Amino acid sequence: MIAVVDYATGNLRSVANALHRAGAEFTLTADPALLRAADRVILPGVGEASSAMAKLRERELDGVIPTLTCPVLGICIGMQLMCLTSEEGDARCMGIFPTHVRRLRGGASEEGPLKVPHVGWDTIEGLRTPLFDGLHEGSFVYYVHSFAAETCPATIATTRYGESFSAALGRRNFYGVQFHPEKSGATGAAIIRNFLNLHP
């Protein structure tokens, strides 16, 4: 069973559509027992980090998710909540990944000013782990974000937007992507398939 964590942060429909396209059956749930029994867990999310963490705490999921032993994938805010802290709302997060989430600084580039939020297609580099099997360096993915995790030993892909940040993180059975695989065309579909095929 694939469980998609439902904690009232939106983005569930697009993730659900991506799983339908992959031919995967799933359950939307905030039930700790169902999450513990799942073969795969996806933690999606859009919005503001401190509010999203508050919703996890209301459901007592902040203590459940770090204890899961199946493959877990955080998407966008879902990944950020798996880090130590976020500058967005001065949030204390779940501490699965040993890094902090900072506001993007933007700045200038050869193509012109780098605006925040970072919206649109960008490349991922330094791809590691089976999450990226079959993908090439420089593959394009779709971003919508103003905050990003600093690079750290758990970084398994990076993107440069004025500075390098963690496009993806991986530690033990936990994975996270800052971009939206459900909106990233064939590359995103491949990442979702790879996650669904990960060995527990």
182 assigned to active site:
yes
25 assigned to active site:
no
Q: Which of 48, 60, 76, 150 is catalytic?
A: 76
CB 95 within 8 A of CB 65: no
Q: Which of 83, 93, 145, 180 is catalytic?
A: 180
Question: What residues contact residue 137 under an 8 Å CB cut-off, 6+ apart?
Answer: 124, 125, 126, 127
DSSP character for 24? Answer: -
Look up tokens 């695989």; give the residue: 181
20 assigned to active site:
no
Report the 3 state secondary structure along 106-146: CEEECCEEECCCEEEEEEEECCCCHHHCCCCCCEEEEEEEC
Catalytic residue numbers, as ranges: 76, 180, 182
